[in-house]
């Protein structure tokens, strides 16, 4: 049974958002994608988006017809209100409050509000995002209760239902790989390994069994660890 609603997926080109895109394509009648350009230090992830979208359209014909327009919103103003490792050359480190300094306060509230505005104009009533409470980083704007409150605020403010779906909210990285496999089999796992980008340092480098990346930054470490746990579980 296909859900007849149209969904807008926050799709950055990383592992999580690619899994969310597959999840949405498996479920909804029509799916569009959105990314934000806010002067990330590395544009590789944004460049990966087109490769991933093209790969999905080519390898999954039953999804290709549902995959609609792609949107890229310029949020370069975030550079004016943040000073983090994502937008400057500072090293990534944990701050005193336990959050990495890649933290942009309330970033996801801004992203989802812009996404909801775009979704409204595109006739979509579902937003899909890869926010996750089990993530090491613990961003408070990624937490389930934050997003539930925002869903209510957006639906009231738009005077139209706007559902926020977060399929990865309570699962870890190994389970995210398993979800990808259940949605698109080995072919989707391979596409995510080879074509998505996660590395904080923007390195593609050699292809490890878990994908491209420096292998040392927190994002690579998490991804590699998750892939190893996934491999151990499915062996």
120 and 71 in contact (C-beta within 8 Å)? no
Pick the closer one to Zn ion by CB: 120 or 136.
Answer: 136
Does the footprint of Zn ion cover residue 222 (CB under 5 A)?
no
Considering beta carbons, is residue 171 or 214 the nearer one to Zn ion? Answer: 214
Cα–Cα dist 111/49, whole Å: 17
Q: Is 57 in the site for Zn ion (CB under 5 A)?
A: no
Region near Zn ion per CB under 5 A, out of 63-71, 122-130, 138-146, 210-218? 210-218
Complete DSSP assignment for 12-37:
-SSHHHHHHHHHHHHHEEEEEEEEEE
Under rule CB under 5 A, residue 131 binds Zn ion? no
Please report, for residues 15, 47, 104, 107, 128, the alpha-carbon distance to residue 6 in angstroms, rounded to integers and kept in the order given. 22, 25, 29, 24, 11
Q: Which is nearer to Zn ion, 183 or 217 (CB)?
A: 217
When the beta carbons of 3 and 194 are compared against Zn ion, the nearer one is 194
Residue 52 binding Zn ion, by CB under 5 A: no
Q: Is 220 in the site for Zn ion (CB under 5 A)?
A: yes
Span interacting with Zn ion, options 57-65, 154-162, 205-213, 227-235, rule CB under 5 A: 205-213
Query: Length of the chain in residues, anyone?
Result: 235
- The residue among 52 and 199 lying less far from Zn ion, judged by its C-beta, is 199
Residues in contact with 207: Cβ distance below 8 Å, sequence separation at least 6, in sequence order: 193, 194
Largest CA distance in the chain: 49
Work out the burial of residue 117: count CB atoms within 10 Å of its CB; fewer than 13 is exposed, 13-18 middle, 19 or more buried: middle
Q: Is 193 one of the binding residues for Zn ion (CB under 5 A)?
A: no
Of 127, 128, 189, 217, the one binding Zn ion (CB under 5 A) is 217
Residues 171 and 131: their CA atoms lie apart, in Å, by 10
CB of 199 to Zn ion, least distance (A): 3
Q: Does 213 bind Zn ion (CB under 5 A)?
A: yes
The answer to whether 199 contacts Zn ion (rule: CB under 5 A) is: yes
Residues near Zn ion (CB under 5 A): 199, 201, 213-214, 217, 220
């Amino acid at each position: 049974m296909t859900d007849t609603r149209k969904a807008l997926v926050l799709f950055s080109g990383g592992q999580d958002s690619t899994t969310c895109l597959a999840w949405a394509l498996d479920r909804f009648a029509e799916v569009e994608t959105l990314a934000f350009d806010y002067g990330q230090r590395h544009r590789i992830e944004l460049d990966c988006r087109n490769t991933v979208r093209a790969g999905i359209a080519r390898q999954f014909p039953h999804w290709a017809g549902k995959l609609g327009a792609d949107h890229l919103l310029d949020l370069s103003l975030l550079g004016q209100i943040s000073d983090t490792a994502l937008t400057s050359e500072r090293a990534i480190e944990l701050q005193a409050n336990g959050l990495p300094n890649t933290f942009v306060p309330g970033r996801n509230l801004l992203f989802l509000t812009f996404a909801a505005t775009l979704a409204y104009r595109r006739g979509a009533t579902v937003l899909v995002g890869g926010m996750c409470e089990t993530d090491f980083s613990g961003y408070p704007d990624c937490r389930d209760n934050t997003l539930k409150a925002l869903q209510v605020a957006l639906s009231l403010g738009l005077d139209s239902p706007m559902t926020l779906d977060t399929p990865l909210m309570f699962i870890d990285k190994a389970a995210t790989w398993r979800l990808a496999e259940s949605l698109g089999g080995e072919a989707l796992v391979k596409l995510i390994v080879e074509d998505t980008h996660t590395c904080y340092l923007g390195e593609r480098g050699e292809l490890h069994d878990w994908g491209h990346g420096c292998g040392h930054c927190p994002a690579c470490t998490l991804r590699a660890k998750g892939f190893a746990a996934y491999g151990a579980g499915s062996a």
